[in-house]
Amino acid sequence: MSKQKLIVIGGDAAGMSAASKIRREHPDREIIVFERQNHTSYAACGIPYFIAGQVSSAENLVAREPEVFRKKQHIDVRTQQEVTEIDTGNHRVRVTDLSNRKTYWEEWDTLLIATGASPIVPDVEGMDAEGIFALSTLQSGINTFRYMQAERPKKAVIVGGGYIGIEMAEALLERNMQVSLIDMAPQLMTTLDEDMAGPIADYMRDKGIAVFLGEKLSHFEKDREGKIKAVVTDKQTLEADLVILGMGVKPNSKLAAGDGIRLGAADAVGVNKKLETSHPGIWAAGDCADSFHILKKQQVFIPLGTTANKHGMVAGINISGGNTEFPGVLGTAITKFLDLEISRTGLSEKEAKKMGITYRSNTIESPTFSGYYPGTGKMAVKLLVEEKTGRLLGGQITGKVAAAKRIDTIVAAISAGMTAKDIVDLDLSYAPPFSPVWDPVQTAARTLL
């Protein structure tokens, strides 16, 4: 009897996490991973800090090179190999070797789709200008860095005010560039409520970023050499010799949909809690797949590195013959701009209203440490609770050092179904260098009792 063959499409977080788990459980199983780029298992979230110079080398973002998987784990990782078709009827995939454009078929017994997500790129005039970059893969970060080294751009425009936009604004400011940021939304970071997002824009402007909200991208202008010259919105023209697109991402799900695999939320590959797709023997994990939302009780598309790694582990356990489920997401996220930390989890007011939930909310300001302790700064905590039960629904935090990671207390409380009263009663730690006597999260909860 021949060995069972697993094929994994995609060699980053979800794909390699699953492949590694399966290898540990099945030392003799045949595992082939197809990756169209050169890199595997890299920290895409670290790209802005590499571009800023805070991470000295792109290699530092790679957790494990393809050769390590091949030699130490005996996983057949094939880079520069793009899967272009899934044939579910014959249990095979068509692969193109990007180095010579030759194609071939590879059969499988079990298939894991971990194709990730791609940045949203606007279909506007001038999009082909040299000097426009959308960051997603490690190679895209390397290409951006090399362009900056060669061209020494002075004026940058960032299109999009989400996480990547804010992080890249910091990175380019660190590189002493004149930075502008535009977004068609009336606020930065639409996953936050407006009252929490407003101070972020004010702070960025105070630190030298020209933030323009409520402005829609019209097109790009090129110079005679085909390089980016300006970004044109519906309100103004901004000179630019570097453009970073931070307009969000879309799941790479066309490959799956091409052979009838069901798509789910936001056209991501639809999966159940075991990460199984609509086709037996085919699984999906990571940024290409949707996830169950713990509070919304429905599938959502929230692509994050933490989720991708957990997806990979769950898929790997189940493909190995185990039986486990992915518990779900709350949309927890964290970032920073210089020394302003930002985090959120659960439902925003906008989401609660959309769900028809009657809720109460409040925002408090507090010092991060005891007020008399050196280095303390201000922070704001916003909590939402269900009106009738007091059950915690969501939280948002902005503030200086040691502020944002307090979101994890809120995550744990929501996951446990705790109320505002339960949070107040928690025996949280205290010492002047770490917190006021009443932790700010507990202070916020007290105002909602």
State the pLDDT at residue 3: 75
Domain that holds residue 345: 339-446
Closest CA to 34 of 119, 135, 108, 117: 108
Domain co-membership, 385 together with 310: no
Domain co-membership, 310 together with 360: no
What's the pLDDT band for 1 if we cut at 50, 70, 90? very low
What's the pLDDT band for 232 if we cut at 50, 70, 90? very high
Residue 331 resides in a domain: no
Domain finish residue from 247, 262, 292: 247
pLDDT per position as a tens digit, 96-150: 999 999 999 999 999 999 999 999 999 999 999 999 999 999 999 999 999 999 9
Domain co-membership, 126 together with 243: yes
State the pLDDT at residue 122: 97
Residue 402 resides in a domain: yes
**Total domain count, the chain:** 3
Domain co-membership, 31 together with 81: yes
Residue 333 resides in a domain: no
Domain co-membership, 238 together with 261: no
Residue 324 resides in a domain: no
Q: What is the mean pLDDT of residues 225-233?
A: 98
Q: Dihedral sign, CA of 31, 34, 39, 40? A: negative
Closest CA to 285 of 240, 325, 345: 325
Can you state the angle between helices 194-206 and 163-174, rounded to 10 degrees? 10
Domain finish residue from 220, 247, 274: 247
Domain co-membership, 275 together with 297: yes
Domain co-membership, 282 together with 217: no
Distance, in Å, from the CA atom of 343 to the CA atom of 338, rounded to the nearest integer, reads: 14
- Tell me: pLDDT of 222 over 70: yes
- Tell me: pLDDT of 436 over 70: yes
Domain co-membership, 243 together with 277: no
Domain co-membership, 266 together with 370: no
CATH number, domain of 15, equals: 3.50.50.60
Domain co-membership, 159 together with 228: yes
Residue 327 resides in a domain: no
Residue 34 resides in a domain: yes
Residue 334 resides in a domain: no
- pLDDT, mean over the chain: 97
- Tell me: pLDDT of 2 over 60: no
Catalytic residue numbers?
45
Q: What is the mean pLDDT of residues 416-441?
A: 97
Residue 292 resides in a domain: yes
pLDDT per position as a tens digit, 339-371: 999 999 999 999 999 999 999 999 999 999 999
Cβ-contact 42, 143 below 8 angstroms: no
Domain co-membership, 286 together with 353: no
Distance, in Å, from the CA atom of 442 to the CA atom of 364, rounded to the nearest integer, reads: 10
Domain co-membership, 362 together with 302: no
